[in-house]
Each structure stands twice: as structure tokens, then as C-alpha cells.
């Protein structure tokens, strides 16, 4: 069985090491070689693509069948090597269904700034107007998202902007996929628009004040941070929205308005990456753009999902 090329591993690792594109175990890449598709395993990190066995080989036709509704959409039964204990990414179905040899999905900050905002989505449509791009409304990762994608893409589509989620780029080669993804990044790039230097003014027992404490000192941004969750991985690793005080469920991050942002002692690297992601995203949101959370029903669907509990457990190791 032929394994993915060195340039695919290098491309995946480069994406994973850039926090403006991928945070922690987020994002995934895939390469199709004949009847086999190699896909990042759930809970692993793209940053490790050149140093650890993070990719799982699946039967491409079987994964496509799950994308079409046969099976539960987890693609666990499509893994070729029965000795492999890792699960394929929860987003394997859309990788299999998109008929391109190389597919890369990131939680690009440049994309998220536009994708969480109604005004931003309109601007993104204009910025990408001459590229083979489609825009897909928010859906739960897995089969629901795959169905929304397949309802909109054509054989020519190489860019998919996922509302409140991220970016997918496709190509015939690694180089082509890399190039078109860079085009999107360049066109959607947004500058930091707020003062992010303000530090926490108080300490909190059992927690560490983090560099993202500027959020607590900006009334508009603080209100947004407390108003809801804007993309799936926030919910998975930080919980719904952000609380203003500790409580029985031991939230990993607490925001105290006008004081600071606090990360619980012993928090995982994924949780640390996600609070930085929120800071990177909201610091670039223009003052005249609103932001729409995914909503409490969508949060509940993610929190009660076995696939995400599995990914959390792996990421915490």
C-alpha cells in the first residue's frame, strides 16, 4: 500500500504549526492514492505529520458510501488495517466525497473572522468572486456537514468556506492545493484591529492569567466572548461560550470583565490553543461587523457527541 508523499506530510505539518490556520488537534488533510485514502486520525495533530504516524488508510469507496448515507458516518469500519487503533477524522466523509486527490481543511483565522459574521460572509463572497468557491451554512461536523457541502459543490469547486467553522481547499496535487489555499489566505487576511497588550489586573487561585486577558478589558469583545461559541472546536475544548466565574463543571477558562482571562491550572495544550484562537479571531473583527454564535442547540449536539468525547480524550493525553 503506497503511503502519502513527503510533500504531503510537509504541507500538513506546516499547516499544523501555524496557529493562524490550525489550532491544536483541529483541521485535517487527506490524500487519495488509487482505492485508498489517507486521512488524519481523530485527536492527532497536523503539526506532527512529519514525526508521528498520524494518518489512517481507509477504503475510499467504503468511505464514499458512508458519505452517501450507508453506515453511521464515522468511517471506523472503512479502516484498512485492523491493527490500527486510531479512528479516522470525524470529517472523513467529506474528504472522501470531494473528488480531488488532495483535500485540506483548516480552521483558518482569516476565514473564521469572515465566516462568523453576516457582514464578513458578504465581504468574503466579494473577495473570492473569481475563484471556484462555494459557501456552506453551519452544520454539525460529520455527515450533516458533508450533506450540506455536497448539496453545493460542483466538479469544479476547489474552495469551500464553512460558516462558523473554517476552510476547505482541494487540488490535483499538494502544490496546487497549497497554492489555492494561500490565495484564499491572502485575500481574506485581516489585520489586528484592537489593543491586545492589556494584562490581567488581578490573580485567581487555581488559575493562570493569560496573555489573552485584553479580551476582558475591551467591553465589545468581552461581550462577544461571553455571548456564545462561534465554531465547533471552541465548544469541544472550552465548553459553551465562556463563564465569568468558576462552577461545579470546572470550566477551563474564565473571563472576568475588566480584570482578566484565566486558564485553569493543568489545562491542556488544546485548551490553551483555543483561547488564543478566540483572541486571534475577535481581535481582527471590524467594529461594524457583528458575530453570530452557533447557538445552544448546536453546542449541545457537540457536547453530547461520542466522537468529540473521543477526540477530547486523545488530545488530553
What are the tens digits of pLDDT across the range 173-201?
999 999 999 999 999 999 999 999 999 99
pLDDT higher than 80, residue 107:
yes
Across the range 136-145, mean pLDDT stands at 97
Strands (E), the chain: 28-33, 36-40, 55-59, 102-106, 133-136, 159-162, 166-171, 207-209, 253-256, 260-264
Q: How far, in Å, CA of 38 to CA of 315, rounded?
A: 20
Say which residue, 161 or 316, is predicted with more confidence: 161
Q: 53-67, 136-150, 302-316: which has the minimum mean pLDDT? A: 302-316
State the pLDDT at residue 305. Answer: 65
Sign of torsion over alpha carbons 230, 41, 311, 313: negative
Q: How far, in Å, CA of 214 to CA of 280, rounded?
A: 11
Give the global pTM.
Answer: 0.95
State the pLDDT at residue 241. Answer: 85
Q: How far, in Å, CA of 239 to CA of 252, rounded?
A: 8
DSSP summary character for residue 135? E
State the pLDDT at residue 85. Answer: 87
Q: Indicate the pLDDT class of residue 156, thresholds 50, 70 and 90.
A: very high
What are the tens digits of pLDDT across the range 239-282?
988 999 999 989 999 999 999 999 999 999 999 999 999 999 99
Helix (H, G, I), strand (E, B) or coil at 11: helix
Q: How far, in Å, CA of 249 to CA of 230, rounded?
A: 21
Across the range 104-110, mean pLDDT stands at 98
Structural domains in the chain, sorted by start: 6-188 (3.40.225.10), 207-315 (no CATH)
State the pLDDT at residue 91. Answer: 97
pLDDT higher than 60, residue 297:
yes
What are the tens digits of pLDDT across the range 112-131?
999 999 999 999 999 999 99
Q: Indicate the pLDDT class of residue 309, thresholds 50, 70 and 90.
A: low
Say which residue, 260 or 86, is predicted with more confidence: 260
Quote the mean pLDDT of the chain: 95
State the pLDDT at residue 315. Answer: 52
Long-range Cβ pairs for the range 246-253 (8 Å, 24+):
246/206
Give the CA-trace dihedral at 270, 272, 274, 277, to 10 degrees.
-130
Across the range 18-46, mean pLDDT stands at 97
Amino acid at each position: 500500500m503506497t503511503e502519502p508523499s513527503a510533500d504531503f506530510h510537509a504541507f500538513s505539518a506546516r499547516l499544523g504549526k501555524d496557529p493562524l490556520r490550525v489550532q491544536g488537534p483541529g483541521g485535517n488533510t487527506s490524500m487519495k492514492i488509487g482505492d485508498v485514502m489517507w486521512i488524519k486520525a481523530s485527536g492527532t495533530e497536523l503539526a506532527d505529520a512529519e514525526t508521528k504516524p498520524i494518518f489512517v488508510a481507509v477504503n475510499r469507496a467504503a468511505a464514499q458510501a458512508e458519505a452517501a448515507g450507508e453506515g453511521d458516518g464515522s468511517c471506523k469500519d472503512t479502516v484498512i488495517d485492523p491493527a490500527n487503533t486510531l479512528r479516522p477524522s470525524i470529517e472523513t466523509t467529506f474528504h472522501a466525497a470531494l473528488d480531488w486527490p488532495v483535500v485540506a481543511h483548516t480552521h483558518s483565522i482569516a476565514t473564521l473572522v469572515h465566516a462568523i459574521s453576516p457582514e464578513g460572509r458578504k465581504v468574503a463572497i466579494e473577495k473570492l468572486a473569481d475563484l471556484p468557491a462555494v459557501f456552506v451554512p453551519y452544520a454539525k461536523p460529520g455527515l450533516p456537514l458533508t450533506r450540506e457541502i455536497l448539496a453545493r459543490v460542483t466538479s469544479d469547486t476547489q474552495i469551500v468556506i464553512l460558516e462558523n467553522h473554517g476552510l476547505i481547499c482541494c487540488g490535483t496535487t499538494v502544490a496546487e492545493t497549497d497554492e489555492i489555499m494561500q490565495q484564499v489566505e491572502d485575500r481574506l487576511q485581516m489585520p489586528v484591529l484592537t489593543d491586545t497588550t492589556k494584562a490581567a489586573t488581578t490573580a485567581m487561585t487555581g488559575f493562570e492569567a493569560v496573555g489573552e486577558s485584553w479580551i476582558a478589558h475591551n467591553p465589545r469583545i468581552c461581550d462577544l466572548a461571553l455571548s456564545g461559541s462561534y465554531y465547533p472546536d471552541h465548544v469541544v475544548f472550552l465548553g459553551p461560550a465562556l463563564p465569568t466565574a468558576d462552577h461545579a463543571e470546572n470550566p477551563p477558562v474564565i473571563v472576568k470583565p475588566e480584570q482578566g482571562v484565566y486558564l485553569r491550572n493543568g489545562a491542556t495544550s488544546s485548551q490553551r490553543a483555543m483561547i488564543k484562537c478566540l483572541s486571534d479571531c475577535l481581535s481582527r473583527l471590524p467594529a461594524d461587523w457583528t458575530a453570530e454564535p452557533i447557538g445552544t442547540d448546536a453546542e449541545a449536539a457537540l457536547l453530547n457527541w461520542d466522537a468529540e468525547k473521543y477526540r477530547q480524550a486523545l488530545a488530553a493525553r
